[in-house]
Amino acid sequence: MKKEILIYEKDKEVLNFLRSFFRGKNEYSPRFIKSNADVLKRELEKNMPSALIIGAPDGLEQVQPLEIQCPVIAMIHSAHVATGIRSVVKCDVEYYLLAPFYKEDLEHKIRLAVERKSWFENLYKEKKDLKAIIELTHLVSSTLNPREVLYLTVKKLSEIINVKRCSMISVSLEDQRYAYVVATFEDPKITDVKLDLKKYPEIRKALSLKRPVIIKDALKDPLMKEVRDIIAPLGIRSIMVIPVIFHNEVIDTLLLRTSRAGHTFTEREIRLCIAIANASANALYNAYLHTKLNKEKTRLEKLAIIDYLTGIYNIRYFYYRLEEEFSRAERYKLPLSCLMFDIDHFKKINDTYGHRTGDIVLREFAQLMKRHTRRSDVFARYGGEEFIILLPQTSMQGAITEAERLRDVLKKHQFSILKEENRITVSVGIACSPDEKIQTPDDLINLADNTLFEAKKKGRDQIVVYPPLE
């Protein structure tokens, strides 16, 4: 690519030297400004050249070299050497030539100036890229939401680099036939869009290699041959797939995929994308770790209140809720009922089918009852084959109706592991407050337990209540 050199010079002798110098120099594209300094300023604002050659002192007095964003080479005329040097020093111009002028000297100064401009441009770009990475790191570190981290990453990248698509892709370890777009810069609400990996050979390769895959020309790269007809109408030219890696591990099989039309990705853009993927990796790892810990905390909290065998509340949680509901019932003068169930002749099931079958029956019984209890009720395993239900704001009549309904559900149910003739029944004891004998939560439980014992003593498969119905 030719380097554009802008020339602002009025002296005919110097102009003849410059035209002679640039004649046949194919690496440069000289452009002479013949008008006044205002035209020069407009030209500089419109298109910044690789270098500006300007006469001194006259030319330097008409412009402000310090405000010009390209290297300046001053040509000091033989008639104005002293004033020309003073103007060069005053304007802090680094490159200058003293008359008489030599082509070799000018060639050297132009090369230095162009290299310096290129060096500063690269430095500026690296500074800009570093700033973008720092901004991204700050943004993604401010949240522990993995989806937000993913979206911020692709959004920031799309702001820095002109891309057609920029997405975070997740691939299931169990089924690598499909991938899912979990974040795209176009819309933070777009998630879990399913992709058939048969149509994405570049993603398959990045997964297998666990390193970036760069497709410079999608229409010529052999890897893309099988999908060339699909991507050609989309105008995609270059594709990058970058695994998001933390400590040599691909995080949850996440990949940053971006594509563009027109021209290929530059080396700088490739480095920037890899740096951004790496910058997001630490935040993503922290976010996933935070999510995992929260899930583990929730799981442990659930285990603390759930009976391991039946999957319903354990007695510990039941007593915790009993204290709350009993206090509320007393405060607001509300009824509170307690139902205690015992599976009739459960020992016979264990003796006939074995304890493993007995455990399965207990779990199926518990889950059946759970499905048919109200959300406001507290259903728990009391111990062995005994179960208990706390019914807030439920009177004695309501508790009896609920017990009959549950018994009816049970009688109609065929347990999957038992024979047809082996139907299960329950004995039920019910206690209800307010009552003069129920002064504490334990009183309610004890009376429900006593009535259950009465139901079993009377022959099982029946309901006994306290206080007795008149």
Per-residue pLDDT of 24-38, as tens digits, reads: 888 998 989 887 878
Determine if the pTM surpasses 0.75.
no
Q: How confident is the model at residue 326 (pLDDT cuts 50, 70, 90)?
A: very high
Same-domain pairing of 257 and 380: no
344 CB neighbour count, 10 Å cutoff: 19
Residue 304 in any domain: the answer is no
Same-domain pairing of 176 and 41: no
Q: How confident is the model at residue 173 (pLDDT cuts 50, 70, 90)?
A: low
Asked whether residue 334 carries a pLDDT value surpassing 90, the answer given is yes
* Pairwise pLDDT comparison (273 vs 143), residue with the higher score: 273
Helix (H/G/I), strand (E/B), else coil: 116 = helix
* Pairwise pLDDT comparison (135 vs 170), residue with the higher score: 170
Q: How confident is the model at residue 400 (pLDDT cuts 50, 70, 90)?
A: very high
Q: How confident is the model at residue 339 (pLDDT cuts 50, 70, 90)?
A: very high
Segment (H or E) for 36 = none
Same-domain pairing of 461 and 319: yes
Q: How confident is the model at residue 123 (pLDDT cuts 50, 70, 90)?
A: low
DSSP 372-430: TS-TTSEEEEEETTEEEEEEET--HHHHHHHHHHHHHHHHHPPPTTS-TT----EEEEE
- Provide, rounded to the nearest whole percent, the portion of the chain with pLDDT above 70: 89
Asked whether residue 424 carries a pLDDT value surpassing 70, the answer given is yes
Asked whether residue 226 carries a pLDDT value surpassing 70, the answer given is yes
Asked whether residue 395 carries a pLDDT value surpassing 70, the answer given is yes
pLDDT of 89: 86
How many helices (H) and strands (E) the chain has is answered by 14, 16
Q: What is the mean pLDDT of residues 190-196?
A: 82
Same-domain pairing of 290 and 321: no
Q: Of 68, 92, 122, which residue constitutes the final position of a domain? A: 122
CATH code at 363?
3.30.70.270
Rounded to the nearest integer, the mean pLDDT of the chain is 85
The contacts of residue 143 (CB under 8 Å, 6+ apart) are 149, 152, 283, 287
Q: Of 64, 89, 122, which residue constitutes the final position of a domain? A: 122
Distance CA 429, CA 466 (A): 8
Asked whether residue 117 carries a pLDDT value surpassing 90, the answer given is no
- pLDDT tens digits for 251-300? 545 677 777 777 788 888 888 888 877 777 777 767 666 666 677 777 77
Q: Which residue has the tokens 């347990």?
A: 415
Residue 440 in any domain: the answer is yes
Q: Which of 99-108, 120-129, 261-270, 293-302 has the highest mean pLDDT?
A: 99-108
Domain encompassing residue 264: 144-294
Segment (H or E) for 97 = strand 95-98
Could you tell me which of 302, 364, 374 has the C-alpha nearest to residue 339?
374
Same-domain pairing of 217 and 87: no
Do 276 and 269 form a contact (C-beta atoms < 8 A)? no
CATH code at 262?
3.30.450.40
Distance CA 233, CA 239 (A): 15
Q: How confident is the model at residue 360 (pLDDT cuts 50, 70, 90)?
A: very high
Asked whether residue 440 carries a pLDDT value surpassing 70, the answer given is yes
Same-domain pairing of 251 and 358: no
- Provide, rounded to the nearest whole percent, the portion of the chain with pLDDT above 90: 34
Same-domain pairing of 394 and 290: no
How many structural domains does the chain have? 3
Residue 165 in any domain: the answer is yes
Residue 129 in any domain: the answer is no
Same-domain pairing of 324 and 280: no
pLDDT of 470: 61
Residue 379 in any domain: the answer is yes
Q: Of 61, 90, 122, which residue constitutes the final position of a domain? A: 122
- Tell me the backbone φ, ψ of residue 383, rounded to 5 degrees: 150, 140
Long-range contacts of 27-34, Cβ-Cβ distance < 8 Å, separation of 24 or more? 27/2, 27/3, 28/2, 28/3, 28/4, 28/110, 29/2, 29/3, 29/4, 29/5, 30/5, 31/4, 31/5, 31/6, 31/7, 32/7, 33/6, 33/7, 33/8
Same-domain pairing of 336 and 441: yes
Residue 302 in any domain: the answer is no
Q: Which residue type does 355 have?
A: H
pLDDT of 378: 95
pLDDT of 367: 95
Distance CA 252, CA 174 (A): 12
Same-domain pairing of 14 and 92: yes
Q: Check whether the bond before 100 is cis (ω within 30° of 0).
A: yes
Residue 401 in any domain: the answer is yes
Same-domain pairing of 37 and 94: yes
CATH code at 57?
3.40.50.2300
Residue 301 in any domain: the answer is no
Do 391 and 339 form a contact (C-beta atoms < 8 A)? yes
Same-domain pairing of 112 and 248: no
